[in-house]
Amino acid sequence: MRLGLYIFAALTLTAIIGAFAYTLNPDNYIVEIMGINFNFPVAVWLVLPMILLLVFTVIHMLYYSLKGYFKLKKWQRDAETLDDALYWSLVNEPKEQKYAISEIASSAALLGKSSLQAHDTVEGLSPRLAKVLNLINKIKNGEYIDLKEHKMAKVFNEGNPLLIQNRLNRLHSDEKFVEEVMKSASSYSDLVRGQALEIFAKEATFFKARQFAKVFDVKNFFVMLERVSTEEEMGLTREILTDFVTSLKLTCTDFVKVADITKKEFRPDQNLALFKQYQADNPKAQNAYLYLLFEYELLDEVGAYLEEHEANEFIKFRALYELKKENKNYKLEDLIDIDSLC
């Protein structure tokens, strides 16, 4: 029963009993308490205990109503806190929360140390959770989500797998973002940076890639080099090639592979001058230089180069040199696999 209705019913009953008693006995009755005389009609003395009971009953009901109200508020606040904890766990950014009710805190504290993954749609979620779960599912399905548009740009920390996946999704749908990653490579994770480099190496020209030479790795450098023989206007020049060679840590085998490609792109004199400089700056390019001397049938230069070095160096090339002196029809590829020159 509602408190107001209860008070109204109790007062009505008290009034009826008092009126009925007054009609039966309208006389007064005196009661002395601590020397004080209290002179009231008999009807008043009759309903006084009822009024006192009503007062204490109302106080009792108010007390437990307030107690229940404050407990309900605690549950409501903890429900909001739990909703917040679920939100941060869904986005892989778990945060510790404080709960007012120990029964909730003892279990919900786990959310502050864990990340949730929903494998299907969930009905009946709060609007906030439903929205973030929908966005997460889109990201996992390969769709790029503009986090600023959804006011979630500051939700994810660097390294968050969802943020990384969203950036990977963007790389495949936004060419400008690929270059943005290349320009600010240090601002992105290794996975995003590596994916951007792979996409860039498959599409860009050497002229465009020159500014990112220091960002490139050997693998994607060769992806671009291998495109030179099949695609026109790649823009490979000796100066651009040198920028990449000086930026990358090429091995002996790498230099030979570069020489095998450039021999088809540059004139012999240009290519030899280029690799002569490379081998002077980096001993790992010496085999590539010798390889080109053999390719261009410059045996005198080969002999002079071998004489400048110790007899235990370039054994394979020395053997080929001796054979070439006896029979000039021998070619390097006839005797040695290019991949085993180093």
| pLDDT of 48 | 87
The CB density around residue 173, as the number of other CB atoms within 10 Å, is 10
Reference 314, options 337, 334, 287; nearest CA is 287
How many angstroms separate the CA atoms of 20 and 47, rounded? 11
Judge whether residue 32 has pLDDT over 80: no
| Average pLDDT of the residues in 242-246 | 94
| pLDDT of 143 | 94
How far are the Cα atoms of 27, 29, 39 from residue 33, in angstroms, in the given order? 20, 13, 11
pLDDT per residue as tens digits for the range 66-83: 888 888 898 889 889 999
| Average pLDDT of the residues in 51-77 | 87
| pLDDT of 302 | 87
Judge whether residue 131 has pLDDT over 70: yes
pLDDT per residue as tens digits for the range 281-307: 999 999 999 999 988 888 889 888 988
Q: Taking all residues of the chain, what is their mean pLDDT, rounded to a whole number?
A: 87
| pLDDT of 210 | 93
| pLDDT of 342 | 80
| pLDDT of 23 | 87
Which stretches does DSSP call E strand in 148-262?
none
Judge whether residue 113 has pLDDT over 70: yes
Judge whether residue 336 has pLDDT over 80: no
Judge whether residue 335 has pLDDT over 70: no
**Tokens standing for 313?**
């160096």
SS3 157: coil
- Backbone dihedral angles phi then psi of residue 5, each to the nearest 5 degrees: -70, -40
Query: How far does Cα 225 stand from its chain's mean position?
Result: 32
